Copies of this chain bind each other. A is one copy, B any other.
Amino acid sequence: MVITKKISLSTKGECDMVNITPQVEQQLAEAGISNGVVTVFVAGSTAGVTTIEFEPGLTSDFQDIWQRIIPKNIPYNHDQRWGDGNGYSHVRASLLGASLVVPFSDKRLTLGTWQQIVLVDFDNRPRSRQIILQITGD
């Protein structure tokens, strides 16, 4: 059994992190499937999905680390070709990954106590995003 749900949201870009766990839980409750997996997938090339303990200290630490490993202020060939100025956003998104798969049992996600599902928007400007939840199971 497969149920497709979508989450639409707005972000501020620049590593903006949005906790989407409440929306995932709500869509799962409405899906009518008890056991299976939720595939959380972000459409687009400058955002990614992961899990984190969602608190302001870590949100800030996570942003700092991206500047450390894939800096904004170095030259990118993408920017020279296309002038978007978001080469760093693309590379960051490809490293983090566009998909996350979370099991659920008896309609409850198997997340740890403090573990939340987040969208990270790496683009260099505010964006509207669509996240696909593919809920499969029985």
- Residue numbers of A with Cβ under 8 A of B are 1-2, 4, 35-37, 39, 41, 43-45, 50-53, 55-58, 60-62, 65, 68-70, 76-82, 87, 90-91, 93-103, 105, 110-112, 114-115, 132, 134, 136-138
| A111, B43: Cβ atoms closer than 8 Å | yes
- Report copies per complex: 3
Cβ of A15 to closest chain B Cβ, rounded Å: 12
Chain B residue contacts of A68, Cβ below 8 A: 69-70
| A78, B57: Cβ atoms closer than 8 Å | yes
Cβ of A75 to closest chain B Cβ, rounded Å: 9
Give bound CA distance, A79 to B65, whole Å: 15
| A99, B101: Cβ atoms closer than 8 Å | yes
